[in-house]
């Protein structure tokens, strides 16, 4: 399982062209869903309106070189290291899920398009990374779901309480979990392989088709919002908030970790 391409084995019953077409459709659903979400919620209009207001109300102009520097800082801190999250646990869970999902998706695409059948031997590293990526998503995702969610950790709700915003994390966890089970059963020659393949496809379709109603597109908006915050801090507008107090920011206490939003 860890060294064999599950999609190449699947090609014995499902044409590689069908698998490749499915992935293309999922990509189109993500693009279309994100655009629909942006238009429907007017996210882009709101963002650019705030950007213009920040430029007008800023105490000084941010130059091109400084803007590039702020963009690099945003990518390095907020995007690659999840620096905006307030606790180490949240940050670790987020990074496990993010990097695991990237590895899972990238290796899936490479194996389906580059090594679609046993006739084109798959480098062992690809299915290994696929499994590791899926396991990372499970580790970070289930940890977040059962222990770190705001409505569980800070508001005391049951971890089994589900709202619309949870579609993304639940469908993601279902997709990678069922994918691992399907790959294991297929490698073992189990009669349950087809059943779990169907469940895997359903969960994956929900994950990518539910973008307008889930937080999937959130991953595209967060970097822009983080950059805007850095620019506003740099030019002095600060979203009309008062200047920082002399006392440094302090969340939680010596006895308890912060549990704010």
For 55-104, the pLDDT digits (tens) are: 777 778 888 888 899 899 988 988 888 887 778 888 999 999 999 999 99
Q: Of 222 and 246, which is predicted with more confidence?
A: 222
Assess if residue 146 is contained within a domain: yes
Q: Of 51 and 77, which is predicted with more confidence?
A: 77
CA–CA distance, 28 with 112 (Å, rounded to integer): 17
Assess if residue 259 is contained within a domain: no
Assess if residue 210 is contained within a domain: yes
Residue 195, token pair as written in the block: 């059943």
Asked if the model's pLDDT at residue 191 lies above 70, the reply is yes
- The pLDDT of 36-60, averaged and rounded, is 75
Q: Which of 59-63, 82-86, 149-153, 245-249 has the lowest mean pLDDT?
A: 245-249
Around Cβ 119, how many Cβ atoms within 10 Å?
Answer: 8
- The pLDDT of 20-34, averaged and rounded, is 94
Q: Provide long-range contacts, Cβ within 8 A and 24+ apart, for 181-184.
A: 182/6, 183/1, 183/6, 183/131, 184/1
Assess if residue 258 is contained within a domain: no
Assess if residue 71 is contained within a domain: no
Asked if the model's pLDDT at residue 215 lies above 90, the reply is no
Asked if the model's pLDDT at residue 217 lies above 80, the reply is no
Residue-level pLDDT at 236: 77
Assess if residue 249 is contained within a domain: no
**For residue 118, which phi and psi values (nearest 5 degrees)?**
-60, -20
Tell me what the pLDDT averaged over the chain comes to. Answer: 86
- The pLDDT of 185-213, averaged and rounded, is 94
Assess if residue 70 is contained within a domain: no
Percent share of the chain, pLDDT over 70: 88
Asked if the model's pLDDT at residue 227 lies above 60, the reply is yes
Range of the domain at 179: 6-44+86-232
Asked if the model's pLDDT at residue 260 lies above 60, the reply is no
245: Cβ contacts below 8 Å, ≥ 6 apart: none
Residue-level pLDDT at 259: 56
pTM: 0.83
CA–CA distance, 261 with 156 (Å, rounded to integer): 14
Would you place residue 258 in the very low, low, confident or very high pLDDT band (cuts 50, 70, 90)?
low
Asked if the model's pLDDT at residue 184 lies above 80, the reply is yes
Would you place residue 143 in the very low, low, confident or very high pLDDT band (cuts 50, 70, 90)?
very high
Assess if residue 227 is contained within a domain: yes
The domain total for the chain is: 1
**For residue 89, which phi and psi values (nearest 5 degrees)?**
-65, -45
């Amino acid at each position: 399982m860890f060294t064999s391409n599950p999609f190449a084995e699947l090609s014995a019953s499902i044409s590689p062209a069908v698998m490749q077409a499915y992935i293309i459709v999922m990509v189109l659903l993500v693009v279309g869903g994100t655009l629909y979400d942006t238009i429907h919620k007017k996210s882009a209009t709101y963002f650019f309106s705030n950007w213009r207001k920040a430029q007008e109300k800023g105490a000084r102009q941010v130059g091109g070189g400084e803007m590039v520097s702020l963009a690099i800082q945003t990518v390095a801190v907020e995007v690659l290291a999840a620096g905006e999250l307030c606790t180490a646990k949240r940050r670790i869970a987020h990074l496990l899920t993010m990097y695991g999902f990237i590895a899972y998706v990238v290796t899936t695409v490479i194996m389906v398009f580059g090594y679609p059948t046993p006739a084109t031997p798959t480098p062992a590293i690809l299915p290994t990374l696929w499994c590791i990526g899926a396991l990372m998503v499970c580790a970070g995702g289930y940890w977040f779901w059962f222990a770190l969610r705001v409505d569980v950790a800070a508001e005391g709700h049951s971890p089994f309480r589900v709202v619309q915003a949870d579609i993304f994390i639940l469908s993601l966890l279902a997709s990678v979990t069922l994918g691992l089970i399907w790959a294991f059963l297929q490698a073992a020659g189990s009669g349950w392989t087809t059943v779990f393949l169907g469940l895997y496809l359903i969960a994956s379709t929900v994950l990518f088709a539910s973008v307008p109603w889930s937080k999937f597109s959130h991953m595209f908006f967060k970097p822009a919002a983080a950059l805007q915050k850095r620019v506003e801090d740099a030019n002095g507008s600060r979203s009309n908030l008062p200047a920082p107090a002399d006392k440094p920011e302090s969340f939680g206490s010596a006895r308890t970790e912060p549990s704010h939003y």
